[in-house]
A = this chain, B = another copy of it.
Amino acid sequence: MKLIAMTLASLSLLTSSTAQATEARDDVRAVAPALEKYKQDILFGDLWKRPGLNPRDRSIVTLAALITRNQTAEMPNYLNLALDNGVKPSEISEIITHLAFYAGWGNAMAATTLAKAAFAARNITADQLPPASPNLLPLNEAAEADRAKRVGDLFGAVFPGVVQYTTDVLFLDLWLRPGLAPRDRSLVTVGALVASGQVAQLTGHVNIGMNNGLTQTEIGEALTHLAFYVGWPNVFSAMPVAKEAFEKRPQP
């Protein structure tokens, strides 16, 4: 299917973005004219323009949501929009790599096929991608020691494999890759957690995110944005958890 998916992706490049947008609008008009109105008035007429989270960050959150939910049909448009909104190709590469671990390996694989087509259409070449093994960002050793001890105490005896990989692959490697700022990795992670309904992990990642520079306003706007892209129920499950994380956070 990989070959076919690639062929389809290549074929889709024969049509311009404008033509694609027209086709999508025609689909909507032939089925649900109200969706076209909501799209013009609310989604792109209001949501994407709200202050509190800039369009680049909204694109990052949207890609995180689509990749986490494996929604390949929408990805080409939103990959293009992300590039238009200033998300760098190297950052898209790292978002996909990050989500291999936070959404699942297959989600990342499906996204690479579509990102390859989006990159090719803009003549984005391999030298614009992050290397496989870059020099890593410096580690916050105290915070990592604390995290590793906490997780190790809880799960080390029963799930040694998960605990080891969490340290070695995620926190000593993935999170330290310099191609995506830690603050942006947190935005991706929060998006993935809300998109997959895994709000139990949200408390920890709201705190990591705010340590990494995300503001409460930005997280609040990310959830507002996600309501449209992952559905209201996921966001209503996330809000009480995020709110409690905000309230319990030590005042600066």
Task: Using CB atoms and an 8 Å cutoff, list the residues of chain A in contact with chain B.
Answer: 1-6, 8-9, 11-12, 15, 19-20, 23-24, 26-38, 42-43, 47, 50, 52, 65-66, 68-77, 92-94, 96-97, 99-116, 119-120, 126, 129-133, 154-155, 158-162, 165-166, 169-170, 177, 192-193, 196-198, 200-201, 216, 220-221, 223-224, 227-237, 239-240, 242-243, 246
Question: Which residues of chain B are within 8 angstroms of A66 by Cβ–Cβ distance?
Answer: 106
Assembly CA distance A247 to B151 (angstroms): 18
Most buried by B among A97, A104, A107, A197: A104
Interface residue from B70, B108, B159 paired with A32 (Cβ < 8 Å): B108
Q: A3's contact among B23, B105, B158, B233, by CB below 8 Å, is which?
A: B23
Q: Does B129 contact A33, Cβ atoms closer than 8 Å?
A: yes
Whether B3 lies near A109 (C-beta < 8 A) is: no
**Inter-subunit contact A69/B106 (CB<8 Å):** yes
Residues A228 and B3 in contact in the complex (CB < 8 Å), given A35-B97, A220-B161:
no
14 contacts between A and B (CB under 8 A): A1-B75, A1-B114, A28-B112, A31-B93, A31-B116, A32-B96, A33-B129, A34-B131, A52-B161, A71-B110, A105-B229, A162-B235, A192-B231, A196-B197
- Please measure, in the bound complex, the distance between the C-alpha atom of A104 and the C-alpha atom of B228, giving whole angstroms: 6
Q: Is the CB of B101 within 8 A of A231?
A: yes
Would you give the shortest CB distance from A59 to chain B, in whole angstroms? 14
Interface class of chain A by DSSP:
helix
Shortest distance from the beta carbon of A6 to any chain B beta carbon, whole Å: 6
Q: Which residue of B lies closest to A169 (CB)?
A: B42
Find A6's partner among B27, B33, B42, B113 (CB 8 Å cutoff). Answer: B27
A196 CA to B121 CA, complexed, in Å: 35
Which residues from B are CB-within-8-Å of A231? 68, 99, 101-104, 107, 192, 196
Tell me the minimal C-beta distance from A121 to chain B in angstroms: 12
Contacts of A158 in B (CB 8 A): 216, 220, 239, 242-243, 246
